[in-house]
Structures are given as structure tokens and as C-alpha cells.
Chain A
């Protein structure tokens, strides 16, 4: 506890002296040491003083519940701050969730949440399926299931009508011991089966509505142990059903949803080799001496590789940063029989004796992603501390103690969570491999134009449709660099804009001789009077600098002209990251109309100017006319 007290006073000194980054680092260190309800109060009060000096992502969360959640809120906010999220939380009245959802003028909607969590217990919604099952006939079980699903469906419908926010729905849990004991598992229509049926129904309804997701509450309880999860006495006296030691697990589970929903995710994970990807030190133990394989003790490292491989499948890039001799490391990567990950799975490699901080900067630059999109996995606490101090925006995964638990540190991390997976995600590693070919090809050309021509690029501009909605929303959430306004939109919001007669949402897909780059650009416009306003214009980093942005802009300009509009306008709203887009409007002949604290507004007179699609890009346009 001594060090905990010291850390507390050190934190207060750092806050007083104005060192927000230093204070934040100590706060997260303290949280690693003693995460829990007491410290959560301390953390949130200190982070509240720091929030203006640190790059937090803000997110508004509403909790609708049938039990006491107040102690959970502090835990969630503390864990959120540590992970870079500044959560504003609204708690709905106790058991008032149906009214709050069904009334469009309720406090819930007035709060304008980004995300809503609907946490309802089986014993509140369907008490007969919780502890009255033995009394029920087949028909009344069926009626209960139907009633529960109908209620959920009417809430979901009303919610989607009144709010574009994300909705996370807790599944209904089964009681720890079925009312009829082991008999329950013998029957098709048992108590657990009935609750599973409700949960299956919930899953299919979540899929029908956009932006609704299921939190598998029974699995969460099972992960930590059913027999210790509940505190029956506190449920009866304080309506708090979860025992003290498990509250933090609920908060962490919520966070795993809130990170991808707020766009705070790792796009790449940088891994160490010695004692991380395998056991032992390659330079000392040699390739045949390192621990890696299906048996103890090497199995711990193979399990970690399997978890990383799963991230790779989810579209998260892998990179190596290791202090080793390059040739030795490459030999182990290619030839060791226990390796699940091979050289081709890594999008970037820095195997040298240099400083890891510098190596991480280079890896981010090579992959064309922000430093804050990197996660760092290294068994060495000194390396982790150095990275935390020099690059506070990197998401550092804590690896310590038993190597067999490393795999859990990766699998439970909220940084790698995704709620949807697009075709682009699945193909990402292949895109990057093709990109490596492209940039090495680019070196031999006399002029840029020659290089562009050699790429044989084809751009396809299309209206948003069911197949591209998720990817378009994802791009608005994740694109930071070539993004003129950095406005984040949910699928629901995109779909609403697309349905308006004065709005257009178009996507850009780029192919070239090295392969398909996938859906990489988005333009959103709104027409009023004689002018078209560009609400959103963004380009994925993997096609920056190849002039495809001009193709997209030319489409927006020429379709506006065809509609008889006279002006094309757009804002550039500067952020810490979007410098690559800074000169975009100036370079395309726009003139600055306005300049204020937020940014600059640019205009192009369509009667005086044309924007041509570059000659080396073959353009295909697939726009559906709106009625």
C-alpha cells in the first residue's frame, strides 16, 4: 500500500505542476496495481481535472437498468479514462426503462446518447422463468418466451425510431441451478432452453435493426464463476445483485463494446520476439533452444501466437519490434516448427538493436497509421515504461507473471475489439503486402505521372448501399489523416443521410495492377440553394498520394454542375492528425471564404472552374437516382 499512497501524492503534485501526461501515466500505473471500486473514485476525480490537457475520446453513454448500477458507473468511467475514453454517463430511473424507451420526450433521448446499454435481469423481466418454472405448463412457457421477445422488439423499434444511438442489449441469464435440477437438461423445453430461445430471438432482432449489439451476459458470468457471481443479500436490500469482486468485470465488458463504438481501437499490434512470441532468448539459446510448440512450456507462447493470428484474421496488422540479430530472427520466423506466425503475417518489421520508441514511430509511418493506433506487446517492463513515457498515445498491454496468462491479456484487451467485420478487414494484410510491392515499384520512375500511369488505377464511385453501409460508417469512425472534417457517423446516421433527397453519400473503390484496394474513400454532400456543401471527404491512408482523391472530388463537382448548382463549398477542420488533407481545397482551385477558430471554409465557383479526373485513372460511376 505504501507505493499506492506515494503514487497518489505524486499524482496530485504532477497535476498541480501542470504535467498532465505524467499524472496520467501514474494514474494508469496505480490502476494496474489496485483496480477496484475505491480507486475508481480517486481516479475519476483526478482525471476530471486532467481531461482538458489530454487527448481523450468523448462518448455519451446511457444505462437503462432493472438493478442498482451506480457503483458500476464509477468503475466504468475510471477504466474508460485509463483506456483513453472520457465517458459522460446518464443513468435511467430504476426499472423505468420501458417508459424511457417508448416516450420520445424522455430524459433518455434528451441526453442524446452515443450508446445505450439495456441491462435487464431475467428475474425482473420474466420472473416466472427465473424461479417459477416448476409451476408452468408448456403453453405458459411458450407464452412467456413470446411475451419477452415482443417486449424487446417493441422497445427496439421505438428506440430506433427516436434515436440513432448504438444499443447494447444484455442477454437474459439462467439461474445458477435450474428450478428442476438436472431434469432441466433432459428436456427440449426446459428452463435453460426457454431462456436460450429468448436470447436467440434477441440476436436475430439485433441483426434486423442497425447499430444494435448483444452482450452475452451468461457467458460473462460463466467466465468468472457462477457460484460467486451473485450477492443475494445485497440484491434484497440494495437491489445490487452482483458481488463486489465482480463489478469490475461488468465494467470491463461494457468497455469492450464502447471502445470500438467510439473508434478508439488498435489498428496494429507491435510484438516483441524473445520471451513474448517464444520463450527464452534466441541470441543465447539458439533456434533449437527456444520454447515454442504444443507441449509445456512452449505451449504458452504458441497460444499467444494463436491469439495474434486471430487478430490478423480480424484485420488488425501485426508488426515485429525486437532487439535481435536480423538473420537469426528471420531464420526462426521462417523455419521453427512451432511458429504459427511467419514473416508474411507481419506488415512491418524492425529487428535491430535500436531504440524501440524510434522503431515504433517508423512502424506507424510505414503502415501509414497514427501512433495512437498502435498497441505494444512486450514482456520487458523497462521497454513498456519507455514507450509509455515517450509515446503516451500507444496502447501498452501489460504482460507480467506467468507466460501462460499472456494469451488472456491479448484476448481480453478492449483495444482489439470489433463489432463488425468488413471484407476490407479480412483482406487488409493482403492489401498491405501489395502496397509494399507498389512502393518498391515506384522507385524506378522518371516522373510521378509515369508512376501513376504504371499503376493502371481504376476508380469506382457508387452510391451507398446495404453492402457498403458498414464500411462507410467504419471509415468515418476510423479515418484520421486524410479527413477534412473528421465527422464520425454511425451506420444509422449514414443510412438516414442517404435517404434524404438533398444529401448524397458516395463511396470510392480503387483497383490497380497490384490488386483491389477495396472501399477506400467517402464523400457526403448536402445541397441547398445554389450551393453544394461537402460535409465529409475522406480517404483511407493506404491510397493517399495517388491522386484518386481528385477523381472523387471531380465527381462531386461535376454532378453539382449537372444539377445546375453554382458553388461547391467545404470546410477544413484541423485536428492533430489531418495535416495531410490541409492543402486539399487550395490545390484544387478553391478560395478561402472564411477562417475561424474551428477551421477554414473554402469555395469553388463551378461556372469558372472544372475539376478534371486525372487522365491515368479510369473512372466508373454507379449512382442510383433518388426518386
Chain B
């Protein structure tokens, strides 16, 4: 996956979690990223919602376990929004 929205999700993760872009892969998760705690998870979700102008449900918020899943979710929501 190398879409624009995917790149943007990676940049947001890099900003929010304070790690360089090169260190962020699909598999990056709370286990591999030190600052990914529950507070930063909320900030990450809010940042995604803000950047892509969408709203994630509590279930969706909880389903994000790594960057790859976050990117897929955003892409799916954007497609639904576009109809």
C-alpha cells in the first residue's frame, strides 16, 4: 500500500509518537513504540479524525492495534465517505 492517505497516516504516527518516519512500518504497535500508551492512542485517533475529517467509532478506535490497521481503516472510511 503506497497511497497518499497511507503516507499521511505514517507521518501522523511519526509526529504523535515521536519516532522517525523510517522507524514506522505496518507492524509498528504499542509493543514496539514506547510512547504509544492509552493517552497517546487517543491523541493518535483524534489526529487521524482531524486530518481526514472523519469520526471513528469506539469499536474502530479499539480495533487499531498497529499502523497498518490504522491506515487500512482510514482508507476504508474515506472510500465509504466518497460513496
A residues near B, CB below 8 A?
A: 1, 4-5, 36-39, 41-42, 45, 68, 70-71, 74, 231, 233-234, 236-238, 240, 243-245, 247-248
Contact status A245-B15, CB under 8 Å: no
Q: In the complex the two chains form, is A41's CB within 8 Å of B16's CB?
A: yes
List CB contacts (< 8 Å) of B26-66 with chain A: 39, 42-43, 45-47, 49-51, 53, 55, 57-58, 61
- B79 beta carbon closer than 8 Å to chain A: no
Quick one: which of A1, A37, A237 contacts B46, CB cutoff 8 A? A37
B43 touching A1, Cβ below 8 Å: no
- Shortest C-beta distance, A74 to chain B (Å), equals 7
B contact face: mostly helix, strand, loop, or mixed = helix
B73 interfacial contact with A, CB 8 Å? no
What distance in Å separates the Cβ of A237 from its nearest Cβ neighbour in chain B? Answer: 4
- What separation, in Å, do the CA atoms of A248 and B47 have in the docked complex? 11
Contacts of B55 in A (CB 8 A): 231, 233, 243-244
Interface of A is mostly: helix
How many chain B residues touch A (Cβ–Cβ < 8 Å)? 25
A38 touches B12 (CB 8 A): yes
| Given A1-B8, A70-B39, also A36-B50 (CB < 8 A) | yes
Residues in B whose Cβ lies below 8 Å from that of A5: 11, 21
Contacts of B51 in A (CB 8 A): 36, 38
Q: Knowing that A1-B8, A5-B21, A37-B43 touch, tell me 6 more A-B residue pairs with CB under 8 angstroms.
A: A38-B47, A38-B51, A41-B15, A41-B17, A42-B18, A234-B58
- Assembly CA distance A4 to B14 (angstroms): 13
| 27 sample A-B contacts, Cβ–Cβ < 8 Å, listed by A number | A1-B4, A5-B11, A36-B50, A36-B51, A37-B16, A37-B47, A38-B12, A38-B16, A38-B47, A38-B51, A39-B15, A41-B15, A41-B43, A42-B14, A42-B18, A45-B18, A70-B39, A71-B39, A71-B46, A233-B57, A237-B61, A238-B42, A240-B42, A243-B49, A244-B46, A247-B50, A248-B50
A591, B61: Cα distance in complex, Å: 69
User: Which of A4, A238, A245 sits near B49, CB closer than 8 Å?
Assistant: A245
Docked complex Cα distance between A238 and B45 (Å): 11
Q: What residues on A are CB-neighbors of B58 within 8 Å? A: 233-234, 236-237
Which residues of chain B are near A37, meaning CB under 8 Å? 16, 43, 46-47, 50
Nearest Cβ in chain A — how far from B78, in angstroms?
15
Give complex CA distance A166, B46 in Å. 30
Q: Which residues of B contact A4 (CB under 8 A)?
A: 11
What 5 A-B pairs have minimum CB-CB distances, sorted nearest first? A244-B49, A38-B47, A37-B47, A42-B15, A38-B12
Q: Give the complex CA separation of A1 and B11 in angstroms.
A: 9
Q: In angstroms, how far is the closest chain A Cβ from the Cβ of B23?
A: 14
Whole-angstrom distance from the CB of B12 to the nearest CB of chain A?
A: 4
A70 to B44, CA, bound (A): 12
